[in-house]
Amino acid sequence: MNPASAFDHPIFSESLRLIQAALPAGALDGLPEPERDVVLRVIHSSGDLSLAQALHFSEGACQAGLEALKEGAAILTDTAMAAAAVAPMAARTFGNPVHSVLDWAPARAPETSTRAAAGMEKALQLHPRSVVLVGSAPTALELLLEQVRKKRVPAPPLVIGMPVGFVGVAESKRHLEQSGLNQIALEGSRGGAGLVAAAVNALLRRAWLDQAAS
């Protein structure tokens, strides 16, 4: 039996087939299986076929993420919405702890920062070596990059950086690209909780299927 047949709903499987048929010829050529899974699931979650060209993967990032997830690494998100979207897949696969950094955020934003950035700083101290998802707050992504750059925390095995919007977003994505960290990123102003959750859920699914097939 194909492990995916017991893991996926038929509607999901049919959706992936339709997405692949609708993509331009060659859109997925050369992508390793985990990267293909991420592209397809992000498109499935957004309904936006153009995201196939906007997603970028650093070399080895997905593999590093797969290994960390298999080992039970915690997953940190910048929003409660993303955490809620990831928690069911994590529970269904490797039981990874899933936390929103807002769990450690102050009730009010610091004068020169945001609640997400303040929460990220504390979360990284408590959960080093986590897979980190940023789909909303570029300030949280910048805080992560600063903490790693100053060697206050170890480099995460994977950063999924897709903050959405217009204020500070382009800059934070550029800084992530320049950081040398293992990363999955989305160019432009698009992003959001649903997309970062889709990306890590694709990796959780792939890691689980690979294990089941081995």
| CATH number, domain with residue 159 | 3.40.50.10230
Catalytic: 175? no
- Please name the helix (run of DSSP H) or strand (run of DSSP E) that holds residue 134, with its range, or none: strand 131-134
3-class DSSP assignment, residue 97: coil
How many residues are present in the chain? 214
Non-local (6+) Cβ contacts of 23 within 8 A are 49, 52
Q: Which two tokens stand for residue 195?
A: 């997309």
* Predicted TM-score of the model (pTM): 0.95
Domain membership of residue 133 (yes or no) is yes
Range of the domain at 177: 53-213
Domain membership of residue 19 (yes or no) is no
Residue type, 86: V
Q: Which two tokens stand for residue 149?
A: 């750059």
**Which of these is catalytic: 44, 56, 99, 127?**
44
Taking residue 53's Cβ as centre, other Cβ atoms within 10 Å add up to 12
Domain membership of residue 37 (yes or no) is no
Domain membership of residue 179 (yes or no) is yes
Domain membership of residue 186 (yes or no) is yes
Q: Which two tokens stand for residue 114?
A: 């945001």
Domain membership of residue 30 (yes or no) is no
Query: Which pLDDT belongs to residue 95?
Result: 98
pLDDT of the chain along its 214 residues, tens only? 466 656 788 999 999 999 999 999 999 999 999 999 999 999 999 999 999 999 999 999 999 999 999 999 999 999 999 999 999 999 999 999 999 999 999 999 988 899 999 999 999 999 999 999 999 999 999 999 999 999 999 999 999 999 999 999 999 999 999 999 999 999 999 999 999 999 999 999 999 999 988 7
Q: Please count the structural domains in the chain.
A: 1
Non-local (6+) Cβ contacts of 57 within 8 A are 35, 38, 183, 184
Domain membership of residue 17 (yes or no) is no
Domain membership of residue 168 (yes or no) is yes
